Amino acid sequence: MDRRTAVVTGGGTGIGRAVAERLAAEGAQVHIVGRRAQPLARVVEENPDLAIHPHVADLTDTTDVRRLGELFAGVTVDVLVNNAGGTVKDVAPGLTGKFEDFRRTVELNLLTTMNVTEALWPALRRPGGRVVGIGSIAGQRGGGDAYGAAKAGLTGWAFDLAKVGGRDGITVNVVSPGYVQDTEFFNETGRSARHDILVAQTLLGRSGRPADIAGVVRFLASEDASWLTGQVIGVNGGALLGR
Ligand SMILES: NC(=O)c1ccc[n+]([C@@H]2O[C@H](COP(=O)([O-])OP(=O)(O)OC[C@H]3O[C@@H](n4cnc5c(N)ncnc54)[C@H](OP(=O)(O)O)[C@@H]3O)[C@@H](O)[C@H]2O)c1
């Protein structure tokens, strides 16, 4: 990763933070993006020896995404990790709320990835650029209603973009995590009834850690993965087999 430039969306917490720290620890200049300044600043403060640069942006806002693209005009981006996502909260009851939930969930989990990639596409290294989307086991087996649908949508998007990127030597893949603790997505840190059910679904008898996902993203970003594109890689402790 030495001297490479990486952009990690949602890099202030959880999986994104672990990815950012892993890439930066190997020498990359890493740009992390999120809505809240504080978690981003904390990552920078707690890693004084790493080259991590914070950027506040709401990636559901196309003005912010456009601004991000402009920021990287003239910069060569080696790795783009589209990690920002999650479930939406505080929706109204009834049909109005359902419509809002569907729209916001697809915006957050699918459109952010598509828009950010589009905005940074001209900046990606040719050949050698890497685009990694963070999907979810929910996109492969259902879960979370619109959330699973939005994550499944990443697959079709990645397949198509891999075809386009292949001509320029850019790889496009999706990492699809199972249950990962120590994230804001799954607030609980210890055990709970839900935790025990999710762990029991794995073959390895434990929840995932952000570092488990970061290691796979790091591999996809590396030279070793230069002939790997258009794939969905499940990282779920064996909770879902073969996908
Ligand atoms: N944890 C799991 O078990 C699990 C399983 C499967 C898939 N995933 C996926 O993994 C990814 C990372 O989630 P996580 O588990 O690490 O949870 P997390 O700690 O909640 O991370 C999500 C990150 O995305 C950022 N974000 C959210 N909305 C954003 C927006 N509109 N613009 C910019 N940044 C935004 C958040 O920062 P701000 O709030 O400051 O914006 C946060 O840093 C997500 O795509 C999630 O769907 C997680």
pLDDT, position 187: 74
CA of 44 to the centre of ligand 1 (A): 18
> DSSP 3-state assignment of 197?
helix
Residue 136 CB–ligand 1 contact under 6 Å: yes
Inter-residue contact 60 to 108 (CB < 8 Å)? yes
CA 222 – CA 23 distance, rounded (Å): 10
In a domain, 226, yes or no: yes
> Residue 157: which of 178, 146, 172 has the closest Cα?
172
242 domain-assigned: no
Residue 236 binned pLDDT confidence (cut-offs 50, 70, 90): very high
Q: Compute the average pLDDT of residues 154-171.
A: 98
CA of 3 to the centre of ligand 1 (A): 26
Q: Is the CB of 184 under 6 A from ligand 1?
A: yes
Give yes or no for residue 172 CB within 6 A of ligand 1: no
Residue 179 Cβ < 6 Å to ligand 1:
yes
Q: Where are the beta strands (DSSP E) in the chain?
A: 5-9, 29-34, 52-56, 79-82, 130-134, 171-177, 232-235
Over 70: is that where the pLDDT of 117 sits? Answer: yes
In this predicted structure, the answer to whether residue 152 has a pLDDT above a threshold of 70 is: yes
Active site residue 179: no
CATH number of the domain within which 174 lies: 3.40.50.720
Residue 55 lies in a domain: yes
- Say which amino acid occupies 64: D
Q: Which residue has the tokens 């064996």?
A: 238
Residue 28 is classified by DSSP as -
Distance between CA atoms of residues 26 and 16, nearest Å: 16
Q: Which atom of ligand 1 is nearest to the CA of 183?
A: 19
Is there a domain that residue 206 lies in?
yes
CA distance 101 to 104: 5
Output the CA 167–ligand 1 centroid distance in Å.
Answer: 31
What is the arithmetic mean of pLDDT over 146-163? 98
Q: Do the domain assignments include residue 186?
A: yes
How many structural domains are present in the chain?
1
Region 2-12 average pLDDT: 94
User: How confident is the model over 52-73, as pLDDT tens digits?
Assistant: 999 999 999 999 999 999 999 9
Whole-number Å distance between alpha carbons of 230 and 161: 8
Is 181 a pocket residue for ligand 1 (Cβ < 6 Å)? no
φ and ψ at residue 9, rounded to 5 degrees: -80, 150
Whether 243 maps to a domain, the answer reads no
d(CA 235, CA 243): 9
Can you tell me the distance from the alpha carbon of 217 to that of 133, in angstroms, rounded to the nearest whole number?
9
Q: Is 83 in the pocket of ligand 1 (CB under 6 A)?
A: yes
96 part of a folded domain: yes
Residue of 72, 121, 147, 179 with catalytic role:
147
Q: Would you say residue 241 lies in a domain?
A: no
Residue 223 CA to ligand 1 center (angstroms) comes to 26
Range of the domain at 13: 5-235
